Amino acid sequence: MIDAAPIASHFINGEYVEDKDGTPIPVVYPATGEVIATVYSATPTIIEKALAAAKAAQAEWAAMTGTERGRILRRAADIMRQRNHDLSVLETLDTGKPYQETSLADATSGADALEYFGGLSGSLTGEHIPLADGDFVYTRREALGVCVGIGAWNYPTQIACWKAAPALACGNTSVFKPSETTPLCALKVAEILVEAGAPPGVFNVIQGLGEVGAALVTDPRVAKVSLTGSVPTGKKVYAAAAAEMKHVTMELGGKSPLIIFDDADVEAAVSGAILGNFYSSGQVCSNGTRVFVQKGIKAAFLKRLSERLANAVIGDPMDPETSFGPMVSEAQRAIVESYIEKGKAEGATLSYGGNRLDRKGFFLEPTVFSDVTDDMTIAREEIFGPVLSVLDFDTEAEVMARANATEFGLAAGVFTKDLTRAHRVVAGFEAGTCYINTYNDAPVEAPFGGSKLSGVGRENSKAAIEHYSELKTVYVRLSQLEAPF
């Protein structure tokens, strides 16, 4: 029996806090189905404590120099890297993702965000704008105040850090609510930030279901909301934030196209399709789940894809050899299985996988459908699981129209050796994050986010600063001031 119980459910004002009056939330290890911890949903008292702590800490945190704030964030990044093993094990317990993945992609990318925004913090400035007669304007880049972060369950450490790092660098404080499916990892981020020197109240974590998130979003003390989640939740949260004209960042779902032209390197294209569909058992928002393959390369692509999927090592996620783990929950597996049934019923060809594994836990084989057409449900709706759809195409003009015929716009990719075509294709994509001969990279230095229904705003890079601060304009008159009367 694994015991992953945190010291307490919430982390507020620099310490762990418990309130067992809240609804119990069992934490289930997806590889076995066993309950490894229980946390308690935040009661109104806990929500109040967290918001009050964040509000009280904000002015002093913003009054520190950016260099001082940055030093704390960079120290937190160092601690995260030193503890990468333990944090990766916890991430695996929380999500079921293989240790082979979590040890490379989770605490490490969280640390990258803390280091990057820690580095930027000291150089966040306004500007000087000269006017006539010596008059001038200067701008001050100011913090927004208390920022609420709400996370999805696929990257609990990374999402907490991607939201905390730019918020804190700009002088904001934060209350973060993880998904109730993966409540453990964000608590460690809060603990590490305090250990690195963050004053109490600067970064708080409270648990709960959607209603806790909704209570945070509507509180008048909150200036900004950053959500990573599905489009339906995004619409609700955006609308609630709009009622008070709050700032938002929305990182939502997708149904991204990945176009493979005849002239592509088959091995590279197959690698792109694997990285864009099966990493984290397919539970990645930017996945290129509509794989458009030009007819001349289709047979070779499908053959190599099946051969390489057969090399996936599916099993105990803690075994460093395992490269493909379970789905996050029984419920998510059931959703994905219902899409697999729809794919079959609507006439797609099941080319690979499609079945549960005969073992404990929420395992589902990597699954490939071919002969998928644009009108099929599996080609239109986000599945959020290991299901890749192959759609055939003839011409560039045709595939571009079909690739963009979606309400989503998170990501898009192209594989071709013709670089002129590659740049033309990405210029035509209606998507926020595009890839040429690669897929699903997300370095902190580059803006990440979606267009259309996939989101608003950008995370990572200098672009995130615009979403966690605002400019105050100051007019300064040195010349004689006159008035009409």
What's the CA gap between 216 and 218, in Å, rounded? 6
252 in contact with ligand NDP (CB under 6 A):
yes
- Tell me: does residue 37 bind ligand NDP (CB under 6 A): no
Q: Which is nearer to ligand NDP, 237 or 379 (CB)?
A: 237
Among 285, 302, 318, 368, binds ligand NDP (CB under 6 A): 285
Binding mask 338-377 for ligand NDP (x = CB under 6 A): ----------------------------------------
Which token pair is 126? 């306004």
Q: How far is the CB of 114 from ligand NDP (least distance, A)?
A: 18
**237 belongs to the binding site for ligand NDP (CB under 6 A):** yes
Q: How far apart are alpha carbons 370 and 391 in whole angstroms? A: 6
445 is catalytic: no
Q: By C-beta, is 137 or 214 nearer to ligand NDP?
A: 214
Q: Please answer whether residues 362 and 328 qualify as being in contact, where contact means their C-beta atoms are separated by less than 8 angstroms.
A: yes
**How far apart, in whole angstroms, are the C-alpha atoms of residue 54 and residue 147?**
9
Measured from the CB atom, the residue of 331 and 419 that comes closer to ligand NDP is 331
Which of residues 50 and 150 has its CB atom nearest to ligand NDP in the complex?
Answer: 150
Kindly give the pairing relationship between strand 136-143 and strand 128-130: antiparallel
The stretch among 89-97, 109-117, 195-203, 249-257 that binds ligand NDP (CB under 6 A) is 249-257
Pick the closer one to ligand NDP by CB: 151 or 325: 151
Check binding of 91 to ligand NDP (CB under 6 A): no
CB of 153 to ligand NDP, least distance (A): 5
Taking CB under 6 A as the rule, which mask of x and - marks residues 215-234 in contact with ligand NDP? --x---------xxxx--x-
Shortest reach from residue 389's CB to ligand NDP, in Å: 16
Q: Quick check: 179 binds ligand NDP (CB under 6 A)?
A: yes
330 vs 32, 233, 383, CA distance in Å? 11, 21, 14
- Does 253 contact ligand NDP by CB under 6 A? yes
- Give yes or no for residue 432 binding ligand NDP (CB under 6 A): no
The nearest distance, CB 474 to ligand NDP, in angstroms, is 35
Cα Rg of the chain (Å, integer): 24
Among 71, 81, 83, 236, binds ligand NDP (CB under 6 A): 236
Tokens read off for 395: 């011409």
| Packed helices 107-121 and 66-82: angle between N→C axes, nearest 10 degrees | 160
Residue nearest to ligand NDP (CB): 213
Q: What is the smallest separation between the CB atom of 420 and ligand NDP, expressed in angstroms?
A: 30
Give the angle 451-457-458 at the CA atoms, nearest 5°: 95
Cα atoms in the Cβ-side hemisphere of radius 13 Å centred on 350 = 15
Work out whether 89 is an interface residue with ligand NDP (CB under 6 A): no
Query: What b/e readout covers 45-67, taking b as 16+ CB neighbours within 10 angstroms?
Result: ebbebbbbbbbebbeebbeeebe
Residue found under tokens 């200036």: 223
Looking up tokens 């934060």 gives 174
Binder among 406, 455, 457, 469 for ligand NDP (CB under 6 A): 455
Q: Per CB under 6 A, which region of 131-139, 206-214, 360-368, 465-473 contacts ligand NDP?
A: 206-214
Q: Which amino acid is at 90?
A: L
What token pair was written down for 129? 């704008």
CA distance 343 to 25: 33
Residue 215 identity: A
Residues 6+ apart with CB under 8 A from 174: 54, 146, 147, 148, 149, 163, 164, 167, 168, 202, 203, 204
Q: How many residues bind ligand NDP (CB under 6 A)?
A: 30
| Residues 135-174 contacting ligand NDP, CB under 6 A | 150-154
* Closer residue to ligand NDP, CB minimum distance, 313 or 465: 465
Between 189 and 293, whose beta carbon lies closer to ligand NDP?
Answer: 189
Q: Which is nearer to ligand NDP, 284 or 390 (CB)?
A: 284
Q: Using the CB atoms, write b or e for 154-166: b if 16+ within 10 Å.
A: bbbbbbbbbbbbb
With contact defined as beta carbons under 8 Å apart, do 412 and 429 qualify? Answer: yes
In the bound state with ligand NDP, the residue whose beta carbon lies nearer, of 66 and 213, is 213
Q: Which residues pair with 248 in a beta bridge?
A: 225
Residue 408 in the binding site for ligand NDP (CB under 6 A): no
H or E element, residue 391:
strand 387-393
Q: What's the closest the beta carbon of residue 152 comes to ligand NDP, in angstroms?
A: 3
Q: Residue 239, SS3?
A: helix
Establish if 325 lies at the interface with ligand NDP (CB under 6 A).
no
Q: What is the dihedral of CA 193, 213, 183, 440, to 10 degrees?
A: -80
Strands, sheet with 146-150, edge to edge from the N-terminal-most edge strand: 15-17, 10-12, 203-205, 173-177, 146-150, 222-228, 247-251, 455-456
Say whether residue 213 binds ligand NDP (CB under 6 A).
yes
Q: Given 91, 101, 251, 382, which residue is catalytic?
A: 251
Catalytic center residues: 251
Interacting residues with ligand NDP (CB under 6 A)? 150-154, 177, 179-180, 209-210, 213-214, 217, 227-230, 233, 236-237, 251-254, 285, 382, 384, 410, 450, 455
